[in-house]
Amino acid sequence: MLTTAEKAADWLLSGLELRSTLFHVGQYCGDYRASTAGHQRASFHLVLHGECWLHLPPRNGQPAASTRLVEGDAVFLLHDMIHCLSPDAQPPGDSEFTVRIGTMTPLEMENATSSGNAGGVGLACGFFEYRSDLGEGIHGLLPDHIIARHDDVKLAGARVVFELIRTEAIRTGDAPSPLVNRLADLLFFYALRSVASADDFAPGLWSVMRRSEFAPLVNAIIEHPAEDWTTHSMATFCHMSRARFCRQFAEVSGQPPAQFLAMLRMKVAAEMLRQGASTLDAAEQVGYQSESAFAHAFRRVTGMHPGACRRERSASAAHIATFIENRVSAH
């Protein structure tokens, strides 16, 4: 049985598009300091064999952190942020975080296939881009980084994906592998869903869904987005005074109830548009009588016009149809 937080994660993932690109695969031995920072992109590191330490300097009011990573672990950095990987448990000095040392060498078969190898660490590193029906609002629902542990019981399926990545990395070596890119996408989805119910996860949808006083409200809004959801009616639904509801909801979600409501409605509308609904139909289904008011709200939340969202779906369908046609013709 899925928890409400896990259901929320699956709902969000239904509109999340991800594209990973493998940067390099290899191993480090001896003294090294590796990083993908400075490229203005989100990135990832997969530990193929051995172990290393992930070091993060103080950021956004959070203290510095050093985390041991072992074979099978992965870290996803959801935006460009200062960090480094090294063999040392102690982090480098503040001025040394951005100084890379050591040379990555080709991945050796015997190292890549033996657990607990003490000769260094094998890594698959890359970048990824992601976007959502929620536009820039997605960033407020995600943490700045996610660590996926190889022994996390929630990641049983992901372990199969990791083994496929490692096998492909060994097979192709330095050559680019589009398969690793797609597998990295899948691993990220597993990682995101696994941490959705963690107590220290970022504020936003999951934080609200973990609170028994708010989860039923969110489910009700998703099921009936066209209802007249005012701050007063939402407070009444939660059996709270308006003032108490607004205060506690903002503390948990990180945003006012009205803003959160708009986010949920536009997510529902985006799913409808992708399925071919007209802008007017989508507007009415999420509680807007005015098509222009809906279009304005949709663009404010998602960053795109409703028509563009629907055309993306049509273009994707056309691309798939052409692909199938070509495959049939080839045979």
DSSP output for 19-67? EEEEEEEEEE-SS-BB--TTSSSEEEEEEEEEEEEEEE--BTTBPPEEE
Give the residue with greater pLDDT, 7 vs 26. 26
Token pair 């542990």 is found at 149
71 vs 51: CA distance, rounded Å: 6
Q: Which domain holds residue 250?
A: 211-313
Distance of CA 53 to the CA centre of its chain: 22
Whether residue 123 is found in the same domain as residue 258:
no
Whether residue 56 is found in the same domain as residue 169:
yes
Kindly state whether residue 206 falls inside one of the protein's structural domains: no
301 vs 137: CA distance, rounded Å: 7
Whether the model pTM is above 0.75: no
Q: How confident is the model at residue 200 (pLDDT cuts 50, 70, 90)?
A: very low
189 vs 210: CA distance, rounded Å: 20
Whether residue 152 is found in the same domain as residue 284:
no
Whether residue 233 is found in the same domain as residue 93:
no
Whether residue 77 is found in the same domain as residue 162:
yes
Per residue in 278-294, pLDDT (tens digit) is 999 999 999 999 999 99
pLDDT tops 60 at residue 136: yes
Whether residue 157 is found in the same domain as residue 232:
no
Please report the pLDDT score of residue 119 as a whole number.
Answer: 61
Kindly state whether residue 320 falls inside one of the protein's structural domains: no
Please report the pLDDT score of residue 329 as a whole number.
Answer: 42
Q: What is the CATH number of the domain that holds 46?
A: 2.60.120
Per residue in 39-73, pLDDT (tens digit) is 999 999 999 999 999 999 988 778 899 999 999 99
- Residue pair 162/46 in contact (Cβ under 8 Å)? The answer is yes
Q: What is the CATH number of the domain that holds 227?
A: 1.10.10.60
Q: Quick one: tokens of 202?
A: 């970022």
Q: How confident is the model at residue 111 (pLDDT cuts 50, 70, 90)?
A: low
Per residue in 253-276, pLDDT (tens digit) is 888 999 989 988 988 898 888 888
Q: Which of 195, 219, 245 is the endpoint of a domain?
A: 195
Among residues 298, 291, 203, the alpha carbon closest in space to that of 251 is found at 203
Strand ranges for the chain from DSSP E: 16-28, 42-56, 65-70, 74-77, 84-86, 121-132, 145-148
Please report the pLDDT score of residue 120 as a whole number.
Answer: 87
Mean pLDDT of the chain: 81
Please report the pLDDT score of residue 179 as a whole number.
Answer: 84
